[in-house]
Structures are given as structure tokens and as C-alpha cells.
Amino acid sequence: MEKILEIKNLAVSFKTFFGEVEAVRNISFDVGKKETVAVVGESGCGKSVTANSVMQLLPMPPAFFKTGEIIFKGEDLLKKSENEMQKIRGNHIGMIFQDPMTSLNPTMKVGSQIVEGLVKHQKVSREEAKKKAIEMLKLVSVPQPEKRIDQYPHEFSGGMRQRVMIALAMISNPDLLIADEPTTALDVTVQAQILDLMKELQDKLDMSIILITHDLGVVADMSDRVVVMYAGQIVEQGLTEEIFDNTSHPYTKKLLASVPRLDMKRDETLVSIEGTPPDLYIPPKGCAFYDRCDFAMKVCKDNMPEFTHHSQTHASRCWLSHPMAKGVKGSEK
């Protein structure tokens, strides 16, 4: 498959008063054309930092890139100047954010916000821009688009605002859409609508999606491939079926186990992963999941596991998958 985005060995850190926080530690993954890749993990695992690195929207300083390349359509984005990045943002790569209530400018008409990027990138006239805004709102199923473009964000509901955000991100027909938890702030019924809309538009416009989420239900529904992140690293990645049916990493297993099920008994308690992720000021030498893992072994504490490939597409970073650990149950802590 043709690759549209390749992240190679990316490491991002933040300089703070107390020292350096290694938010993303040497991750590599790619996104194919028309593919949806989900990046999953709990809060603080580096998934949003990864997304913002692609767009280069991180505040620099304190953030800085330590190593790595972000190759988009054959060119390294990290080598581009701010001016060159402006031509890519909103034009070739669009982005949707988590909270539609705060991600639109309250003092600007919705229509102008949608077309602002288009006007800059494609130098269209006002008339055309207005027509395009109406067309986009129609595309994302906002009723009465002619009237709605002259309204302000506070006149829209949360779901409608997220539709506006999608219209805004997609107006220049980007090759890649980065959706940073697009449904987290919405209620469940609206979530499904927004996801369906994204899928529908992906088919229509032939674009790739990076979906950042911590909701595994969303992952199963949307993505072709999954990247599981923990403490700034990728711990497992593979096709969605492989991740769900052939789970390898203990962290992914626990994540899956903690999804509430409809057939749960009433008095059954929800499963949670005990403990907290390690402090990224001093990232652990060994496996980052060591402290919380049920299967941790002596080797895990001080030795960083490398990726073991289970198939061409499926790999996980765990000593248990290592050929020499065959038959070992783990848990010698």
C-alpha cells in the first residue's frame, strides 16, 4: 500500500523547570493511503503530542524534537520552515480537536471560520468561499446551511459544532485528517453520528485518518490498524483484528478487559488497571509497564524489550513474546 505518512524514530521532549519530560520516546509507524490508523492509550501516553508533532502545533519551546523524521508525501515535515508548514496545515493535513465547545472562535461567524483556511490556500473569491462553506455544511449534514453560515458558534449544539469542525478541517480536501479524540466530549448518540460522518467523508474524499482515542469501541468501529501507546512508546501495533483477536501485550489485554460490557452483571465491578504510568521525567530503564503488569518477570525491570513480530503487520514490545520466553507464564516479581 502507498504510504502517505511515515513517522520514524520520533522522540519529543518538553523542557520544564524540573527537568526534561520525555513525552514521546522513539516511536515509528506509518499511515497508508485511505487508511485509518487509531492511536490508543491512556491520558499522558503521548498520543496527542504525536498528533501535534505532525502538525507542528506544539509550543516550542518548551517542546523540542530530539530525533526522528515525519515523512509526509515524501518530504520530512520536521525540516520544513514555519512558512512551508503553513502551506501544509489546513491544506494537505486537516485536524479536528477534542472539545467542539471551545475549539471554535466565539466571536467569528461559523462560515468565515470554515473558509478561512481555503481563502488563504486557494485564493478563492468571497462568493466562491461562501458557496463552498454552504456546500461543506451540507456535506456534514448541518441543516439549513445558508442560514447557519452567518451564525456564531454559541448558536450551535456540541454535535453540530463538531460537524462544523469537520467541515473546517476538510474544506481544502486534505490527504490526511488527524482527529484528536473527536468524540470524547460528545454524548454517546452523537458520537456514533460523528464517526459515521467521518467514515462516509473518508470514502467520498479518499483521505487517510489518524484517529487519536482512548475509546476502544471507537477503534473497533473505525480503524484499519491500531497503534497502542504507553508512556511515550508504542507497545503494540497491528491490524485491528489482530489487536482484538490476537492480543499480545499485557497492557493491551488490560485495556481490552477494562471496556465495560453490556452483558456484565449489575453487581460486577468495572475492571481497571491498577497503579499509574511511570514518571516521564525519569523514564524507566526496562519495560515501562513493569510496575503494573501481572506477568512481569525479572528481566523486565532493567531491560527494555524490543519488538517481536507476530505477523507482517503485528508486533508487540514484551519479553513474554520473545522466542526464548516460550512457555513462560511470567509473574516472578
Task: Tell me which residues touch other proteins (CB under 8 A).
Answer: 55, 57, 82, 85-91, 94-95, 97-99, 102-108, 113, 116-117, 120-121, 152, 154, 165, 168-169
Query: Rounded to the nearest whole angstrom, what is the least distance from the CB of residue 49 to other proteins in the complex?
Result: 13
Residue 98, phi then psi, degrees to nearest 5: -65, -50
Distance of CA 313 to the CA centre of its chain: 19
Beta carbon nearer to other proteins, 152 or 307: 152
Beta carbon nearer to other proteins, 122 or 313: 122
Beta carbon nearer to other proteins, 117 or 232: 117
Query: Rounded to the nearest whole angstrom, what is the least distance from the CB of residue 205 to other proteins in the complex?
Result: 17
Beta carbon nearer to other proteins, 91 or 237: 91
Alpha helices in the chain (DSSP H): 47-55, 82-88, 110-122, 126-139, 145-148, 158-170, 188-205, 216-222, 240-245, 250-257, 298-302
Query: Rounded to the nearest whole angstrom, what is the least distance from the CB of residue 310 to other proteins in the complex?
Result: 36
- Which residues 6+ apart lie within 8 Å of 126 measured at CB? none
How far CA 260 is from CA of 69, 102, 215, 265, 277, in Å, comes to 38, 29, 11, 11, 21
Residue 62 preceded by cis peptide, ω within 30: yes
The residue written with cell numbers 467520498 in the block is 204
d(CA 293, CA 273): 9
Of 85, 64, 146, which is closest to residue 110 (Cα–Cα)?
146
Beta carbon nearer to other proteins, 18 or 267: 18
Provide the 10 A C-beta neighbour count for residue 60: 12
Query: Rounded to the nearest whole angstrom, what is the least distance from the CB of residue 30 to other proteins in the complex?
Result: 22
Beta carbon nearer to other proteins, 111 or 117: 117
Query: Rounded to the nearest whole angstrom, what is the least distance from the CB of residue 55 to other proteins in the complex?
Result: 6
d(CA 164, CA 166): 5
Q: Which amino acid does the sequence have at 129?
A: A
Beta carbon nearer to other proteins, 89 or 254: 89
Query: Rounded to the nearest whole angstrom, what is the least distance from the CB of residue 120 to other proteins in the complex?
Result: 5
Beta carbon nearer to other proteins, 98 or 321: 98
d(CA 37, CA 39): 7
Of 32, 37, 1, 83, which is closest to residue 222 (Cα–Cα)?
37
Provide the 10 A C-beta neighbour count for residue 289: 26
DSSP 268: P
d(CA 174, CA 207): 7
Query: Rounded to the nearest whole angstrom, what is the least distance from the CB of residue 306 to other proteins in the complex?
Result: 35
How far CA 152 is from CA of 128, 211, 237, 304, in Å, comes to 20, 28, 41, 51
d(CA 47, CA 54): 11
Beta carbon nearer to other proteins, 61 or 260: 61
Query: Rounded to the nearest whole angstrom, what is the least distance from the CB of residue 12 to other proteins in the complex?
Result: 17
Query: Rounded to the nearest whole angstrom, what is the least distance from the CB of residue 57 to other proteins in the complex?
Result: 6
